[in-house]
């Protein structure tokens, strides 16, 4: 029953060219598409993946602002994508060279205590390291540590572009927002923020058939998208009256689940104002500063509040759901670029209010 060693062949192209294009973080505010050496295997459990499609995440913008202290200048950015395995270490048993794979944004060893309880985000030798502590996916090639437990095989005939969204954003909306928020059939959900991650939560919340999904945002265009994606009602919160409006909509009851998908004190406060006794606030937002928690009101309200860095533990389930057409993550894709155009891609993604960009696909 022990798996036999699998022949490992090198990608001839990789061997020949030796260098590749890669988007490199230089210093706060600065990045450049550079020629870099093609990555090499560093451990027997590594794989090298020829990136086929990648995308840009809000976290990449955070890094570029200089907000992510673990990411050093010189780092190749990116933690999402699909590709083809070009080389594997001798300890990789689940994949072969040539396999088409989804790259999880979270590297997981599968062996440490946290991995064994499904909390891959806190893997003691992994977690969110790609495009952060080690070089990432906005390049022609990427080295993936712990390949057996950090890559996922793409089924034959799948729509690969859709699967780029399984690297990070769809599991993030689903795990941090929907699962942690205990969305249930017949329940009432508010999603604060209709950016890409809020919309990913909106798409995946519908797995559980809640009676109401109320999308809240400052931007009418995004709210229109939310309506098309399945929000039953929307609230533009520009006037600061979102809580009053929501309470009126729900007959004064509030929501069973409030999903925070922005990451600033005001939106977190709004969640506290609209959650019903016994309900849940599920935080997805990446917060840059502390927030007020009104325990002088909430101590007696039987509230649950959760935080989570995505584990991507649901990636196989989401893949089955995509294949079964229960969710279409491609609805999040608004723009397409090539790796040569990645500066334009960042511009489009970084100016979403003007460009209406949600997720941009980059062909590497």
- Take residue 252 and report the two structure tokens written for it: 């004064």
Binding part of the chain for a copy of itself, among 11-19, 85-93, 191-199, 350-358 by CB under 8 A, reads: 85-93
Distance CA 189, CA 213 (A): 5
DSSP summary character for residue 206: G
> CB of residue 293 vs a copy of itself: minimum separation in angstroms?
4
DSSP notation for 101-124: EEEPSSB--S-SHHHHTT-GGG-T
CB-CB contact of 282 with 200 (8 Å): no
Q: Among 316, 336, 338, 353, which residue sits at the site for a copy of itself (rule: CB under 8 A)? A: 316
- 318-343: burial string, b at 16+ Cβ within 10 Å, e else: bbebbeeeebebebbbbbebebebbe
Angle at 156 between CA 151 and CA 162, to 5 degrees: 65
DSSP notation for 221-247: HHHHHHHHHT-SEEEE-TTS-HHHHHH
CB atoms under 10 Å from CB of 133, counted, come to 16
> CB of residue 121 vs a copy of itself: minimum separation in angstroms?
7
Choice between 133 and 219, CB closer to a copy of itself: 133
Q: In the beta sheet, which residues pair with residue 361?
A: 55, 336
Choice between 46 and 87, CB closer to a copy of itself: 46
- Contact positions with a copy of itself (CB under 8 A) in 265-284: 268, 277-278, 283
Distance CA 336, CA 325 (A): 23
- Take residue 230 and report the two structure tokens written for it: 């399945």
- Contact positions with a copy of itself (CB under 8 A) in 178-207: 184-186, 206-207
Q: Per CB under 8 A, does 230 bind a copy of itself?
A: no
Q: Per CB under 8 A, does 155 bind a copy of itself?
A: no
Rg (CA), the chain: 21
> CB of residue 85 vs a copy of itself: minimum separation in angstroms?
15
Please state whether 273 falls in left (phi above 0), alpha (psi between -120 and 50) or beta.
alpha
> CB of residue 64 vs a copy of itself: minimum separation in angstroms?
19
Q: Among 84, 125, 236, 356, which residue sits at the site for a copy of itself (rule: CB under 8 A)? A: 125
Q: Per CB under 8 A, does 156 bind a copy of itself?
A: no
Number of residues that bind a copy of itself (CB under 8 A): 85
Q: Among 2, 12, 251, 252, which residue sits at the site for a copy of itself (rule: CB under 8 A)? A: 2
212-217/233-236 β-pairing: parallel
Q: Among 299, 336, 351, 353, which residue sits at the site for a copy of itself (rule: CB under 8 A)? A: 299
- Contact positions with a copy of itself (CB under 8 A) in 13-72: 42-46
Choice between 301 and 341, CB closer to a copy of itself: 301
Q: Per CB under 8 A, does 170 bind a copy of itself?
A: no
Q: Among 208, 247, 330, 350, which residue sits at the site for a copy of itself (rule: CB under 8 A)? A: 208
> CB of residue 43 vs a copy of itself: minimum separation in angstroms?
5
Q: Per CB under 8 A, does 94 bind a copy of itself?
A: yes
203: helix, strand or coil: helix
Choice between 33 and 286, CB closer to a copy of itself: 286
DSSP summary character for residue 33: E
Binding part of the chain for a copy of itself, among 20-28, 115-123, 216-224, 335-343 by CB under 8 A, reads: 115-123
Q: Among 261, 305, 360, 364, which residue sits at the site for a copy of itself (rule: CB under 8 A)? A: 305
> CB of residue 288 vs a copy of itself: minimum separation in angstroms?
6
């Amino acid at each position: 029953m022990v798996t036999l060693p699998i022949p490992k062949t090198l990608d001839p192209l990789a061997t020949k060219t030796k260098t590749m294009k890669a988007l490199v973080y230089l210093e706060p505010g600065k990045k450049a598409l550079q020629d870099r050496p093609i990555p090499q295997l560093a451990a027997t459990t590594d794989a090298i993946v020829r990136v086929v499609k990648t995308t840009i995440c809000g976290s990449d913008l955070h890094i570029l602002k200089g907000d992510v202290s673990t990411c050093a200048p010189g780092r190749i950015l990116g933690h999402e994508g699909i590709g083809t395995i070009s080389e594997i270490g001798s300890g990789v048993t689940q994949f072969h060279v040539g396999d088409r794979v989804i790259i999880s944004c979270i590297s997981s060893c599968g062996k440490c205590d946290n991995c064994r309880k499904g909390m891959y985000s806190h893997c003691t030798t992994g977690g969110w390291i790609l495009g952060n502590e080690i070089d990432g996916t906005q390049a022609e090639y990427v080295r993936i540590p712990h390949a057996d437990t950090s890559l996922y095989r793409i089924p034959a005939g799948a729509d690969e572009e859709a699967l780029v969204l399984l690297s990070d954003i769809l599991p993030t909306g689903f795990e941090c927002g929907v699962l942690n928020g205990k969305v249930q059939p017949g329940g009432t959900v508010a999603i604060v923020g209709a950016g890409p991650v809020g919309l990913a939560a909106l798409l995946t919340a519908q797995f559980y058939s809640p009676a109401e999904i109320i999308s809240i945002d400052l931007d009418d265009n995004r709210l229109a998208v939310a309506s098309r994606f399945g929000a039953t009602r929307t609230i533009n919160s520009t006037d600061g009256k979102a809580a009053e409006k929501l309470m009126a909509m729900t007959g004064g009851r509030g929501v069973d689940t409030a999903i925070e998908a922005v990451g600033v004190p005001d939106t977190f406060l709004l969640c506290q104002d609209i959650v019903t006794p016994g309900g849940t606030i599920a935080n997805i937002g990446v917060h840059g500063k502390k927030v007020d928690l009104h325990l002088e009101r909430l101590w007696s309200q039987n509230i649950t509040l959760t935080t989570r860095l995505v584990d991507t533990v649901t990636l196989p389930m989401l893949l089955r759901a995509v294949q079964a057409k229960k969710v279409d993550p491609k609805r999040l894709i608004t723009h397409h670029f090539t790796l040569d155009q990645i500066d334009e891609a960042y511009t489009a993604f970084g100016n979403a209010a003007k460009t209406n960009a949600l997720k941009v696909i980059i062909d590497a």
